[in-house]
Structure 1
Amino acid sequence: MRIILLGPPGAGKGTQSERIVARYGIPQLSTGDMLRAAVAAGTPVGLQAKAVMESGGLVSDAIVVGIVADRIEEADAKNGFILDGFPRTVEQAKALDAMLSEKGIALDSVVEFVVDENALVGRIAKRAEETAARGQPVRKDDTPDVFKTRLDAYRRQTAPLSDYYAGTGLLQTIDGMKPVDAVSQDLVALLDRHTAAAS
């Protein structure tokens, strides 16, 4: 099962990813984690990324796709994977499609969590208040102003992926405003349908 999770920051992708990992035994692939691992392992593409990062540059789409390409060859990803936080742009989606096609691999589903952005801002503010009340440090990106900036970036760069994947027939949507367990039930029902159809 090879899936991509889409949705703005705070939509619950991380929480639901953990549940998918536990239920289906497939890894969640975060580009940040993969990048750090590739740099630490000194792989050819990791060395390229390290050189770019050390010079203060942004790692190119080609390097990121190369890192994803290496990672999905590892044993734990043979039965599938969840991509979270990648692709971020339509260009990255096209590069990912080309790479998967070369490997003879196809995505099974792209799941978008549909949420009310105003309610999300409230949700993040509440999370920050609860964290502070427990005496724990509040994440920098959990302040409403920073969060709104992240939402703006998402709308500009990542939201167009919905139309792109709708055009491929892969896009499925889930109501991300439901309680967490209800979202999980909807997600499992959707993924189980795919698994049944594929077997």
Structure 2
Amino acid sequence: MPATAATDAVVGPIALLGAPGAGKGTQAKLIVHRYGIPQISTGDILRDNVARGTELGKQARVVMERGELVSDQLVSGMVADRLAQKDCERGYILDGFPRTVAQAEWLDKYLDSRTFGRRKLPPVVINIQVGYNQLLQRLTGRRSCPACGRIYNVYSQPPRVDHVCDVEGASLIQRKDDKEEVISERLKEYERRTLPLVEYYRRQGRLHEVNGELPANQVTEQILKLIERPAVQAGSND
């Protein structure tokens, strides 16, 4: 990617919050492309550590084989190792982290001893807000082609012929995970788990909220305005 003001920018850490279906993945990809910074996924980090047999990965494997959740301490340790790598020097997008108040507190302490472009930068915490009914429609409306994997949405991106793939002509299917009863439980679990984290950042005046029900390009514009705050470009010294 050729060097530009955007790809040279020191943006610091970015944490995207939002329920399943809010569009975090879409926005994260756009930010990665614009700034050339990595997307740090806790799921990827966990799988990588387990696969490579690192000390933390071995501990995590034991916990996972018991069917238990990996502790905040283990997750934070693996995240710290990943954030210390060179590609994170200008910033990164945190995907799936923090998920708890304990992880957010750890992140604050970790960042207190780190600099980006010779300055300390707190995370830009962005909550993509989408109403419950809209989330339900986005998630339960998903259909896929069993032949080519193409994804449709019966509400917002339907095929030309109902229930039939435009490319393969195969009948579209709905995953079990996209059934309304399953989605409803996922959304309730997200709210239960994440509300304390949202309140943690809101109390500190550090939570930025954007309207995720707008078209994707308008959501991106809102997010970029928050990221491109003053004095974050590379070479800035004030």
Which of 61, 71, 88 is matched with 2:72 structurally? 61
1:196 CA displacement: 4.3
After superposition, the Cα gap between the structure-2 partners of 1:192 and 1:46, relative to the gap in structure 1 and judged at 3 Å, is same
TM-score by length of 2: 0.75
Choose which of 11, 16, 29 in structure 1 pairs with 2:27: 16
Aligned partners of 2:195, 2:103: CA distance in 1, in Å?
13
Question: In the alignment, does 2:186 pair up with 1:175?
Answer: no
Instruction: State the Cα distance separating 1:103 from its structure 2 match.
Output: 4.7
Q: Quote the Cα distance in structure 2 between the aligned partners of 1:58 and 1:32.
A: 12
Structural mapping, 1:81-92, within 5 Å: 81-92=92-103
SS of residue in 2 equivalent to 1:159 = helix
Distance 1:72 1:150, change over 3 A: same
Task: Give the equivalent residue in structure 2 for 1:119.
Answer: 134
In structure 2, what residue type is equivalent to 1:30? S
**Alignment match, 2:9:** none
Q: In the alignment, is residue 49 of structure 1 matched against residue 60 of structure 2?
A: yes
Unaligned runs of 5+ in 1: none
1:3 pairs, out of 6, 14, 20, with 14
Match of 1:184 in 2: 220
Question: What 5-or-longer segments of structure 2 have no aligned partner?
Answer: 1-11, 145-151, 154-162, 166-170
Deviation at 1:14, TM superposition (A): 0.6
- Is it true that 1:73 corresponds to 2:84 in the alignment? yes
The Cα RMSD (Å) is 2.3
- For residue 192 of structure 2, the aligned residue among 142, 156, 160 is 156
Question: Matched residue pairs, number?
Answer: 199
Deviation digits for residues 163-184 of structure 1 (CA, Å, limit 9, x no counterpart): 2112223211110000111111
Bigger Rg over Cα: 2
Q: Deviation digits for residues 31-59 of structure 1, max 9, x if unmatched?
A: 11110011122222112112222233221
Q: Which has the higher helix share?
A: 1
Instruction: Give TM-score, length-normalised by structure 1.
Output: 0.89
Tell me, yes or no, if the aligned pair for 1:111 and 1:171 is still in contact at 8 Å.
yes
2:216 counterpart letter in structure 1: V
